[in-house]
């Protein structure tokens, strides 16, 4: 019998998606939650009835975790990290018990487990702990006895017996870690979307669902802001070769499989176009061309806890360089202040800043075996009259920084430019 891990997020149990009601009063009441838990219970039961063993991992209902955090922050601007984890872990604990009750009410057999009860051991970094080990004995016994175990996502226990959480969105990690520990056949993620899309359908009408995508592509898309899955969960899946299936909890259809790379995937040159509006740019113009300058700049920025995304340095001319980099918009002002302070030592000609930029990226494992991908992308942008301010590439990704108000058009243009390859590859897949 094959084991399937099913993960349901806050949307599946809270106030979004199926059963959404316009009546505000009802939203705050229990009736909606009841309907949603029943629905999730039915999915788990139906999977078991098809002959699978099932373990369910759940998040907290809807907005619960945020609500708990708001309460803590209302009491203190700096709540102790230990107490925050104690507090946040309660959201998931409500969900597991309610779902187990729902499954039992449908005539199934179910049992809820907290992270500590499962034996999920983590390091002791509150708020962003990492899983070190999963014991699994209790879980295995429950599975063998025919139960559907319901496990609280996002939480674990340190060696010293302290409750920890894995970082926001961490239930995805719990699900994949359990899939690895229990040697599951598949880890399913139930979402309020049909799967992973070639780009955001709200920005580009031509966006369509991807049938199969590699871990590496998924990681690039996730880190680029197209995040449907927590990127650490995808890394985990890649390391342990766990197939993932991102699908809708609203209907039965197949979603997107995230799986090890296979040769046919290279036929699709660009499998997705991702974008990130949360970027701002700072340029040092005319810094002296000598060893240590870049080290100095990025040491200062990094020490301030600011995460730098893209860095571009021009080649030296007349003994000086231009150094540009991008940061998240929320760090922009701090980064500008630092840059201005640093500039006295650096002796740059001037500092230029731009908060109205964004990043658009084309991602695809097919780039490894196809030349001219960059030129095709740049030509399409040129024909659309879109100016490229910065470029960076990796093995399977080409990113450009452009003006923020051109984002939609750039995404559509790039998506369109590579659409033919995608159509061709899908057709071949379907006829073979």
Residue 168 touching ligand ASP (CB under 6 A): yes
Residue 154 touching ligand ASP (CB under 6 A): yes
192: which residues sit within 8 A by CB, 6+ positions away?
11, 12, 16, 17, 248, 249, 250
- Count residues binding Mg ion (CB under 5 A): 2
| Alpha-carbon separation of residue 122 from 126, 129, 130, 149, 196 (angstroms) | 10, 6, 5, 21, 30
What is the footprint of ligand ASP within residues 47-66 (CB under 6 A)?
59-60, 65
Whole-angstrom distance, CA of residue 428 vs CA of residue 421: 11
Whole-angstrom distance, CA of residue 78 vs CA of residue 88: 15
Whole-angstrom distance, CA of residue 325 vs CA of residue 332: 11
| Residue with the CB atom nearest Mg ion in the bound state | 10
Q: Which does 154 bind (CB under 5 to 8 A by kind): Mg ion, ligand ASP, none?
A: ligand ASP
Q: Which does 153 bind (CB under 5 to 8 A by kind): ligand ASP, Mg ion, none?
A: ligand ASP
In the complex with ligand ASP, the residue whose CB is nearer, 9 or 272, is 9
Closest of 226, 334, 343, 328 to residue 284, by C-alpha: 343
Among 59, 174, 324, 413, binds Mg ion (CB under 5 A): 59
Q: How far is the CB of 228 from Mg ion (least distance, A)?
A: 13
Residue 116 touching Mg ion (CB under 5 A): no
Q: How far is the CB of 300 from ligand ASP (least distance, A)?
A: 32
Residue 155 touching Mg ion (CB under 5 A): no
Span interacting with Mg ion, options 10-18, 122-130, 159-167, 309-317, rule CB under 5 A: 10-18
Span interacting with ligand ASP, options 169-177, 290-298, 312-320, 415-423, rule CB under 6 A: 169-177
Among 153, 156, 195, 272, binds ligand ASP (CB under 6 A): 153
| Alpha-carbon separation of residue 179 from 34, 54, 128, 176 (angstroms) | 28, 11, 20, 5
- Structure token pair of residue 380: 């399409």
Among 3, 4, 5, 10, binds Mg ion (CB under 5 A): 10
Whole-angstrom distance, CA of residue 250 vs CA of residue 248: 5
- Structure token pair of residue 332: 């922009």
What phi and psi values does residue 136 have, to the nearest 5 degrees? Answer: 75, -10
* Residues at the site binding ligand ASP, with contacts judged by CB under 6 A: 9-10, 59-60, 65, 91, 153-154, 168-171
């Amino acid at each position: 019998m094959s084991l399937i891990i099913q993960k349901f997020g806050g949307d599946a149990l809270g106030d979004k998606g199926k059963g959404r009601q316009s009546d505000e009063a009802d939203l705050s009441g229990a009736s909606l939650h009841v309907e949603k838990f029943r629905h999730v219970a039915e999915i788990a039961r139906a999977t078991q009835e098809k002959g699978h063993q099932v373990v369910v991992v759940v998040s907290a209902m809807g907005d619960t975790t945020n609500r708990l955090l708001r309460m803590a922050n209302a009491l203190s601007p700096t709540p102790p990290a230990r107490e925050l984890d104690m507090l946040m872990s309660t959201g998931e604990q409500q969900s597991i018990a309610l779902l187990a009750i729902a499954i039992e009410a449908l005539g199934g057999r179910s049992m809820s487990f907290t992270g500590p009860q499962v034996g999920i051991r983590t390091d002791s970094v509150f708020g962003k702990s990492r899983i070190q080990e999963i014991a699994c004995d209790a879980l295995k016994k429950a599975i063998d006895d025919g139960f559907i175990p319901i496990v609280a996502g996002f939480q674990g226990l340190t060696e010293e017996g302290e409750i920890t959480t894995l970082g926001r969105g961490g239930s995805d990690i719990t699900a994949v870690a359990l899939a690895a520990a229990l040697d599951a056949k598949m880890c399913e993620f139930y979402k309020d979307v049909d799967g992973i899309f070639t780009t955001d359908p709200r920005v580009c009408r031509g966006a369509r669902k991807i049938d199969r995508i590699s871990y590496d592509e998924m990681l690039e898309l996730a880190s680029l802001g197209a995040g449907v899955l927590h990127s650490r969960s995808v890394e985990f899946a890649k390391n342990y070769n766990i197939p993932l299936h991102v699908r809708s909890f609203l209907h039965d259809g197949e979603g997107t499989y995230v799986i090890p790379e296979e040769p046919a995937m290279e036929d699709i040159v660009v499998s997705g176009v991702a974008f990130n509006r949360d970027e701002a740019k700072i340029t040092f113009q005319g810094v002296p061309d000598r060893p240590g300058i870049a080290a100095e700049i990025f040491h200062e920025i990094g020490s301030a806890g600011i995460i730098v995304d893209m860095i571009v340095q021009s080649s030296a001319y007349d003994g000086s360089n231009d150094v540009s980099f991008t940061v998240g918009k929320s760090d922009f002002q701090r980064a500008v202040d630092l840059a201005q302070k640093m500039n006295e030592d650096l002796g740059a000609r001037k500092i230029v800043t731009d908060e109205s930029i964004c990043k658009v990226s084309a991602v695809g494992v097919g780039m490894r075996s196809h030349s001219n991908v960059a030129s095709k992308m740049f030509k399409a942008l040129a024909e659309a009259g879109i100016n490229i301010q910065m470029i960076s590439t990796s093995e399977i990704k080409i990113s450009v920084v452009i003006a923020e108000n051109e984002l939609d058009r750039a995404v559509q243009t790039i998506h369109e430019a590579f659409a033919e390859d995608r159509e061709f590859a899908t057709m071949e897949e379907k006829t073979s």
